């Protein structure tokens, strides 16, 4: 299998267009996939940028937060009382109580890992303080940003507060929401995990192949929050193209 992380500009643009047609993944089309490579300082601290790198075991020391993000919360308890649970990295597909459609995206739910709460606007929150809880949170994060008409209300609840999230909200506020097809997640690979920080690669089918995006989640005030990108950069970078799911754990509800 060949993964392509560095590609000619026209190839990146073509892939970006395919993803935009299949789903608005990342909080507004204005922040999606530019024709430039993601700079090194846009990758969150503690993030392994090589898509073929193996997962590593959790440690007890969290890396520093990415630029523009506030520091992590050291509280171990979830905001709704979910037990911390197993701290090992899920190298096989976790057991879900079921899969549900949220904003047209099929996402897992679990009484053990979360989400334990659903807000009146449909936002799902409160996950276990564990790598598996972060994985459930990552899948649900993609669904949370699937509704562009709610994104201004969603981002403050989903992302780590700080200047980068403020900048993202400002840019989104200047744009009109757009409708798109829903994305469906096919699998994952955890690149890095510490007690309070997890970086996960999510695979998305695009035509006959797959694209991957990266999310880093940080434990903050009793729940997992997504680390926002530096201002002007796309959420989910670096992106990669994959022929198959050989390097991923297949985990999907469809």
Regions in the chain scoring below 70 on pLDDT? 1-75, 177-181
Q: What is the pLDDT of residue 178?
A: 67
Distances (CA, A) of 226 to 52, 138, 167, 209, 253: 22, 8, 15, 26, 22
Q: What is the pLDDT of residue 110?
A: 97
Q: What is the pLDDT of residue 149?
A: 83
Q: What is the pLDDT of residue 247?
A: 94
Q: Please write the tens of the pLDDT for every residue from 226-238.
A: 999 888 788 788 8
Distances (CA, A) of 180 to 26, 150, 183, 233: 12, 14, 9, 21
Cα–Cα distance, 3 to 245 (Å, whole number)? 11
Q: For residue 127, give every residue at least 6 positions away whose Cβ sits within 8 Å of its Cβ, in sequence order, or none.
A: 78, 82, 113, 114, 115, 116, 133, 134, 136, 137, 140, 223, 224
Q: Where in the chain are the domains? A: 9-250
Q: Please write the tens of the pLDDT for every residue from 8-41.
A: 333 333 333 333 333 334 333 333 333 223 333 3
Q: What is the pLDDT of residue 75?
A: 64
């Amino acid at each position: 299998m060949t993964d392509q992380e560095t590609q000619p500009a026209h190839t990146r643009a073509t892939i970006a267009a395919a993803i935009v047609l299949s789903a608005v993944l990342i909080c507004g089309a204005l922040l999606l996939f530019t024709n430039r490579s993601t700079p090194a300082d846009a990758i969150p601290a503690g993030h392994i940028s090589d898509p073929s790198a193996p997962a590593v075991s959790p440690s007890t020391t969290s890396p520093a937060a990415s630029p523009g993000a506030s520091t992590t919360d050291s509280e171990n308890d979830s905001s709704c009382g979910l037990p911390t649970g197993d701290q090992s990295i899920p190298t096989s597909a976790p057991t879900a109580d079921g899969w549900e459609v949220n904003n047209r995206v099929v996402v897992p739910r679990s009484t053990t890992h979360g989400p334990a709460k659903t807000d009146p606007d449909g936002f799902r929150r409160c996950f276990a303080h564990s790598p598996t809880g972060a994985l459930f949170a990552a899948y649900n994060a993609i669904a949370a940003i699937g509704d562009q008409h709610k994104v201004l209300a969603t981002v403050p609840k989903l992302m780590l507060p700080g200047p980068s999230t403020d900048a993202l909200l400002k840019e989104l506020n200047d744009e009109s929401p757009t409708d798109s097809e829903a994305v469906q997640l096919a699998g994952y690979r955890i690149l890095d995990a510490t007690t309070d920080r997890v970086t996960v690669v999510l695979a998305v089918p695009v035509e006959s192949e797959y694209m991957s995006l990266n999310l880093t989640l940080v434990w903050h005030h009793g729940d997992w929050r997504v680390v926002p990108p530096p201002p002007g950069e796309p959420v989910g970078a670096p992106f990669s193209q994959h022929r198959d799911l050989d390097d991923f754990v297949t985990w999907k509800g469809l």
